[in-house]
Amino acid sequence: MFNSPSAHHFDLGPRRVYPCWMREEKQKQMLKLFGEFRGELDLRKQIDIECKRNTDNIDLFETMIREAYPDTTLVVSGHHIMFVREGQSLPYEIASADTLIFDHYIAQKIWKDRYREVLAQLAVEPIETRDAVLRSLFFAR
């Protein structure tokens, strides 16, 4: 992993190997921290917000998916965005609106050579206004 050449290769230095008991302790600490963090979130509210965002914009998201995957036969949304492609028995699932928006394959199909510029513009846009900006950019092409 560390020796593979790539454009994004970083020298992370030597890997640390922890004794088994230290790994277990670190895992316990991490899970405790994650549990405390998750406990502070109102997950039902987060799910409702994501569901509303997806369903409010399904026309836009469906158009984007169908443009990237012309063989799409069905697009539905709820907490996730799902679509079925012709000849496929299982649906594809996109976890969130932002996962769809920032998917590089889809972005390249939609924005062509401008995809990096458009994604950068959307990335700095606050979540509250991102979908409106996306809609404006998409239909102004």
pLDDT for the residue numbered 35? 62
**Calpha distance 87→73 (Å, rounded):** 9
What pTM value is reported for the model? 0.70
pLDDT for the residue numbered 33? 66
pLDDT for the residue numbered 120? 97
**Calpha distance 124→68 (Å, rounded):** 24
pLDDT per residue over 58-98, tens digit each?
Answer: 999 999 999 999 999 999 999 899 999 999 989 999 999 99
H-only helix segments in 1-141: 20-40, 43-56, 58-68, 97-101, 104-111, 115-123, 127-139
pLDDT for the residue numbered 27? 72
pLDDT for the residue numbered 17? 56
Residues of the chain with pLDDT under 50: 1-12
pLDDT for the residue numbered 28? 74
* Closest listed residue to residue 119, CA positions, set 135, 104, 105: 104
**Calpha distance 69→85 (Å, rounded):** 8
pLDDT for the residue numbered 20? 62
